[in-house]
């Protein structure tokens, strides 16, 4: 192990950053079919051997990109109210999906996950981490008595993102700020009414 | 124009049905990359020339498959209550997405739409038709006074499907009946609270 490999800001970290940046650009431009490791090396200005030795296949590279995206995602915003917090979450997701590069990248990652189990696993892990990051704002609302006891915090967070992804991937309706704000309002209303509480038998 | 071409149950219709069935099978098995027109012809037991002349490219074939899926989708169920109707809708979507062939087919169609504009247009049209089919149950609930005037019926229908597609495509959580029933309950609760009403300024 070289000295660089244990220093976070060292050459190894810089190489990873450049390679994942190039991989993300290629995915956003043309999807998984476009993700050629030689081209990644060229764009990242890194030796081909380094890229092939460290990542080996496009699927491994995509999984590492998703891991990095989870690591570097923004922490949640704390506004003091559930509607404020979930609106902040919805707008963050909306801005990401509406951004030309990021939106195309997410489409490519989701498409890649439909036909590769390893990519699907990395994608699910990414959402698991993001949901874990935001779930405490729902738990806090339960503690404040804004939501019924037993509310499934993670399901409320999923409910905020779901309408935005449905528009992006299925119906094609615009992923705009109005859709984000409505997603947050709907999740709060449904949670308040107990729709994410323990299932009644 | 031959006699067959104007008779719905005729040879032309039978050829289309066989070809689209084979196309759907290939998409479900291996995604768009798997959709070879020669293989479609072989499986459908139809001449290659017929397939190439009538559909020409995989994108045209996928668009025709989506058109047929919209044409042959089930009509909405009328149960007399909004929760009953939307639960029927949610369970129909859930059974479709959880079915091995249908679920894989939808994943393949959505993945194909991320990298082809024509397929995306056909996919959006499919959802537009399905949303139009179910929106009247929400409009009827508004008429009965169950929901606030000005409720966006199509947005309520989108809200029922969204959590199921989010699970299928993004988070990887199970697309089960509990998720379907929760999606319907949440949509009703949010709509009742006015979350899909005219936006407040």
Q: How many CA atoms lie within 13 A of B113 on its CB side?
A: 23
B117 touches chain A (CB under 8 A): no
For every residue of chain A, DSSP letters joined together read --TGGG-TTSHHHHHHHHHHHHHHHHHHHH-GGG--HHHHHHHHT--HHHHHHHT-SHHHHHHHHHHHHHHHSPPPP--SSHHHHHHHHHHHHHHHHHSHHHHHHHHHHHHHHHT-HHHHHHHHHHHHHHHHHHHHHHHHHHHTTSS-TT--HHHHHHHHHHHHHHIIIII-----HHHHHHHHHHHHHHHHTTTTSSPP-
The pLDDT tens digits along chain A (201 residues) read 444 455 557 888 999 999 999 999 999 999 998 999 999 999 999 999 999 999 999 999 999 999 999 999 889 999 999 999 999 999 999 999 999 999 999 999 999 999 899 999 999 999 999 999 999 999 999 999 999 999 999 999 999 999 999 999 999 999 999 999 999 999 999 999 999 997 554
> Quick one: tokens of B178?
């509990």
Q: Name the more confident of B3 and B63.
A: B63
The answer to whether the CB atoms of B163 and A165 lie below 8 A apart is no
CB nearest B31 (choices: A115, A169, A185): A115
Tell me where in chain A the CATH 1.10.10.60 domain(s) lie.
3-69
> Quick one: tokens of B125?
């049209």
CA distance A197 to chain B (A): 9
C-alpha distance from residue B132 to each of A105, A106, A188, B75, B148 (Å): 30, 28, 26, 11, 20
Taking the C-alpha atoms of residue A171 and residue A43, their distance in angstroms, rounded to an integer, is: 34
Tell me which residue of A35, A41, A44, A42 sits closest to A63, measured CA to CA.
A35
B129 touches chain A (CB under 8 A): no
A163 touches chain B (CB under 8 A): yes
C-alpha distance from residue B154 to each of A96, B151, B172 (Å): 24, 9, 26
Tell me where in chain B the CATH 1.10.357.10 domain(s) lie.
73-192
The answer to whether the CB atoms of B185 and A185 lie below 8 A apart is no
Taking the C-alpha atoms of residue B86 and residue B78, their distance in angstroms, rounded to an integer, is: 9
Question: Which positions 57-116 of A are in contact with B (Cβ < 8 Å)?
Answer: 107-108, 110-111, 113-115
CA distance B142 to chain A (A): 17
Closest residue in B to A174 (Cα–Cα): B124
Single pTM value for the model: 0.93
**Predicted pLDDT at B4:** 47
Taking the C-alpha atoms of residue A55 and residue B16, their distance in angstroms, rounded to an integer, is: 44
Q: Which CATH number fits domain B3-69: 3.30.300.130, 1.10.3720.10, 3.40.50.300, 1.10.10.60?
A: 1.10.10.60
Q: Which CATH number fits domain B73-192: 1.10.3470.10, 1.20.58.390, 2.60.40.10, 1.10.357.10?
A: 1.10.357.10
**Predicted pLDDT at A102:** 96
Partners of B94 on chain A (C-beta within 8 Å) are: none
Q: If you ran DSSP here, which 8-state letter would residue A81 be given?
A: S
Among A90, A102, A169, A188, which would you mutate to test the B interface (most chain B Cβ atoms within 10 Å of its Cβ)? A169
Taking the C-alpha atoms of residue A17 and residue A32, their distance in angstroms, rounded to an integer, is: 19
Closest residue in A to B185 (Cα–Cα): A195
Instruction: Report whether pLDDT(B32) > 50.
Output: yes
């Amino acid at each position: 192990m070289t000295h660089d490999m244990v220093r976070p800001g060292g050459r190894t970290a810089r190489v990873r950053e450049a390679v994942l940046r190039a991989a993300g650009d290629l995915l956003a431009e043309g999807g998984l079919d476009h993700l050629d490791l030689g081209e990644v090396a060229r764009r990242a200005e890194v030796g081909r051997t380094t890229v092939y030795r460290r990542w080996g296949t496009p699927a491994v590279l995509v999984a590492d990109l998703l891991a990095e995206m989870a690591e570097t995602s923004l922490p949640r915003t704390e506004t003091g109210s559930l509607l404020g917090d979930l609106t902040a979450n919805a707008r963050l997701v909306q801005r990401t999906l509406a951004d030309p590069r990021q939106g195309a990248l997410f489409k490519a990652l989701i498409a890649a996950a439909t036909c590769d189990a390893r990519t699907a696993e990395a994608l699910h892990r990414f959402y698991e981490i993001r949901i874990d990051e935001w779930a405490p704002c729902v738990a806090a609302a339960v503690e404040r008595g804004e939501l019924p006891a037993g509310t499934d915090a993670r399901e409320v967070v999923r409910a905020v993102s779901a309408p935005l992804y449905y528009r992006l991937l299925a119906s094609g309706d615009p992923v705009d700020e109005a859709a984000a704000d409505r997603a947050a309002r709907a999740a709060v209303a449904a949670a308040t009414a107990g729709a994410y509480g323990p299932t009644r038998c």
